[in-house]
Each structure stands twice: as C-alpha cells, then as structure tokens.
Amino acid sequence: MKDREAIILPVLSAVVILAVWHFGVVLTHTKIFPSPLDVVRGLNELVHRGLLLSYMRDSLYRAGIGYILATILGVPIGIFLGWYKLPAMSANPLIQMMRPISPLAWMPLAVIWFGVSDLAPIFLIFLGAFFPIVVSTMNSVRNVPPMFLQAGRNFGLNSVALFRRVIFPAILPQVLGGLRIALGIAWLVLVAAEMIAVNSGLGYLIIDSRNAGKRYDLVVAGMLLIGVIGLCLDILVRRTERLKAVRWGFRAD
C-alpha cells in the first residue's frame, strides 16, 4: 500500500500542477510565460538539434567530477579531524571561516585561474561540496558513543580493526546524510557556474535562451530538466541509504 501511495500521490500532484500551469497561461493570455505544451515543443527542438543529451552530459560530468573529488578528500579529512583533537582545534577556525563563503563568490577567481573551461565549474562544485562533507564526517566521528569504542577495545581490537568494525559502521549513516546534502549543493552551484564560466550545460542553456531571442520555453525546459535530474540524484542517494549495511541508521518511511 505504501509503495502504491508513493507512486500515485506524486503523479497526482504533478497532474494538478500541470493543469494549474496550463490554465493559468490560458486565462492570463500571457505572451511571455510558456505553457506546458510550449515547453514540450522546446524540448523536442533541443532533441532534434542534438543539444539536449549533450548539455545534460556536460552538466553531469562537471557535477560528478567536482563531487567525487570533494568526497575523496572530504571524508578522510573529516575522519582525521574528528578523531584527532589537536589538528581539529587548529583547522576548525579556518573551516568555519571558509564554509559560509558562497562558492559563487569564488567565480571571478575561478575564471581567472581556469578560464572558460570545465575546470572552473568543477572547482566551484568541489568547494560547494567539500566543506559540508568535512563537517558532517567530523561531527559523525565525534558522535560515536564512547561505549562502542570501549566495547571494541575490550574485545582486543587494534586501531585498524576498531576503525573498520566499529567506527566506520557507526559513522556511515551520518556521513551518507552529509553526502546527500553536499550533492544538492553541488548541483545548485553547477547551474550558477555554467551561466558564466562555460558555454555548454543546462545552466548555459537557461542563460543563453534568455539572451538569444528570449526563448522562455527553453528557459523553463532547462529549469525542469535541472529539477528532474536533481530528483533522480536524490533518489539514488536515498537508495544507497537503504542498503542493509547502513539502513539501521535511518527511520523507515
């Protein structure tokens, strides 16, 4: 029953939103905001021009590289800072100072350093995802119950075995939660970065369609594609959270 509701309710919501959207455009007689059919025609045009899959591929490539780099570096650094207090005390002020700075504030420097290339948005995505991953991982290590560690030591586990069999399983649910948040931030940063730093991708599609002939049907099409891909990425991470090794850390929903 729950599985059926999980499908039916979102579909009904989407139908209602599309209906309101369509009749809102019809009743207001607007010549600017596109109807759902206009957006579908715009998407079909992108397909025939061979741009749709190309732009989606470019965006996913940039987001994937920046996010993976942030994960590869952020998780080990977070574990290290969460386990060793002295390095954490030294690094924490810098982390807390850098974390609130929007990655988009780095955009002028990114363009100067990397030019109009894939490296600029990848760098911005890395910054956007790196600090949330470090902070969530560091806090997850600090929040491991002391009784877990004491139990492991009582069973004679050395440092490597203690980390592998106690610490890592204990922090994994919270780390995955941080990775999920960081993925959403990375996708947001990507779209803004593509509006300035590159000449392809979904963000570029939006700004280029606005500037080149005020194609608002393509602007909305790009927005919807960004939302749908973001939803798919979020579902993928949520599926990972339900794996047998980590699902104990999440409430059933």
- pLDDT given at position 241: 65
212/185 same-domain check: yes
20/127 same-domain check: no
Residue corresponding to tokens 């995955």? 176
17/48 same-domain check: no
Amino acid at position 201, single letter: G
144/129 same-domain check: yes
- pLDDT given at position 7: 75
230/215 same-domain check: yes
17/57 same-domain check: no
Give dist(CA 162, CA 153) in Å, integer: 7
45/86 same-domain check: yes
- pLDDT given at position 252: 42
What is the domain count for the chain?
A: 2
Cβ-Cβ contacts under 8 Å for 25 (sequence gap 6 or more): 33, 34, 35
27/93 same-domain check: no
190/219 same-domain check: yes
Supply the Cα-derived Rg of the chain in whole angstroms: 22
Question: Structural domain of residue 7, as residue ranges?
Answer: 1-31
Please provide residue 11's backbone torsions phi and psi, each rounded to the nearest 5 degrees. -65, -45
CATH of the domain at 154: 1.10.3720.10
22/147 same-domain check: no
Q: Which of 77, 33, 30 is nearest to 215 (CA)?
A: 33
- pLDDT given at position 5: 66
47/114 same-domain check: yes
67/25 same-domain check: no
CA distances from 2 to 7, 9, 17, 252 (A): 9, 10, 23, 11
Residues of the chain with pLDDT under 70: 1-3, 5-6, 241-253
Tens of pLDDT, residue by residue over 201-238, are 888 898 888 887 788 888 999 999 999 998 888 888 88
Predicted model pTM:
0.84
Letter string b/e over residues 170-200, b meaning 16 or more CB atoms within 10 A of that residue's CB: bbbbbbbbbbbbbbbbbbbbbbbbbbbbbeb
- pLDDT given at position 32: 83
